[in-house]
Amino acid sequence: MSTQGIQPQLNPPSAVNPPPPARGKTLKIAIGFLAAATIAAALVLGMDVMMQPWMWNRYIEVPAPPRETSPQEAILREKLNSYEKSAEDLKSLVSLLLGLSSLYALSLGVASYIGVQDAKDRADQTVDRLNKLEDRTGQRVLDFEARLEKQTGQAKALIETEVLEIRRQFPLFRDMQNSIQKIRNELEQSLPDPDYGRETLKKMNEKQRVMIEHFEWSVGAFRFFDLEPFRDDASSIYIKLGSYYSHMYAREDTEHKKNPHAPKPDPRDPDRAVWYLEHARAVSPKSIAALNELGDLLLNLKNEPENARKLLDESLDLQPDQQRARFLKAIIEHTTGVEDISKGHREAAATRFEESLALLTYALAKCTRWELSIAPQRKIRALRYNRACALARLAGLDVDRVKNSGQAMDDLEVVFPDGQEPDEQRVSDFRNDVKKDGDLFVLFQVDTVKARFETLVNRMPVSS
């Protein structure tokens, strides 16, 4: 029911200005008393004035002595009679003034009393009006709350009806947050570590591959939604898919080069990986994982080291306390140094290897996180392995040959501890690096570490 047009009468005439009977009665009494006092004072003054000639004529005459007096005595007697008459007049004037001052004081007292009573009556009336207004306001608040509660209930019912209708027409909206999180969790279980995708992909079975492709189809619908409320989950899903296609292409390409009869990789996979990683950046521009993964792809699959360097620098600006971006930048410097050696630029190569060494040493000494979480031990071993390669290359260029060779062996013995099964990826890299022109080949030629290095080579597994 609409209440528009109904204006309640807040101040009815009878309630706003009620007749003040008590104040009127008091005022009448005070005025009557003041009038009576005035009349009495006037009568007193009038009688005093009328009696003054009579009183002034009743001064005591000093009788003349029976004998004749001198003129001086007569003058003195006349002055005494005059002084006596003046004294009587002063007495009458003082009496009159005392009466008038008393009457004035009485009038002031009556006026003050009337003023105080009037103020008290007005204050009582104001308090009474405020009490009535408070009662009416409280009742209106209760009425408003009741109407608001009723309208809220109606609105909730309407919203629930509309939501059910939307879900009926668009089932994909139902529990969208939970669905996105489910996709993310499933992909993380299948691809728990994108940095070592080659090892993970080798262990994947056909069922897991089908599952990944199934969730990829669901992700295709993301383009029609505003992903801002789900940006972290959506960005992680895009990164997982980009990593999947990137590392799958790298592994299949490696296997095909080893065995020409193995299936060729799909040449579209690198572009597909870039597409997903760019979407991850668009959804979450400050995601260092997306920047690092895209930098890895540009470095290892696209052979675009400078473009990769820009992305890695951006990642370090967003999160300086991380190891992965420095790890990848160290690979760029190391790869460039190897190219400089092939061109005969030994000094330039030494500078590149020193820069790679500085990046890896800083990552090991000053950083504790790989990206956002604490680095697991196998990633620490990857950092140490690459540092050993940089040290060995510097030793091969006769830069602190003995010192750098010894430090390279220290890192390698940490990476491959005696009695512990080594990482498959590290073993594969080690086999390539001990070959002639490999990063570690020089350690066979340094007498101070040759025996230690040969022992390490001999206890590497024959196959992986």
Cβ pair 331, 299 in contact under 8 A: yes
* pLDDT score, position 47: 53
**CA dihedral for 138, 139, 144, 147, sign (positive or negative):** positive
The amino acid that residue 23 corresponds to is R
DSSP 83: H
**Count of helix runs (H) and strand runs (E) in the chain:** 16, 0
The answer to whether 337 and 353 have CB atoms below 8 angstroms apart is yes
- Reported as a single tens digit per residue, the pLDDT across 194-238 is 554 455 566 666 777 777 777 777 776 666 565 666 778 888 888
The pTM (predicted TM-score) of the whole model is 0.61
- Residues 342-388 pLDDT 10s: 999 999 999 999 999 999 999 999 998 999 889 889 899 999 999 99
Give the integer Cα–Cα distance in Å for 244 and 192. Answer: 11
Compute the distance between CA of residue 298 and CA of residue 267 in angstroms, rounded to an integer. 15
Q: Is the per-residue pLDDT at 171 higher than 70?
A: no
Q: How far is CA 255 from the centre of its chain?
A: 51
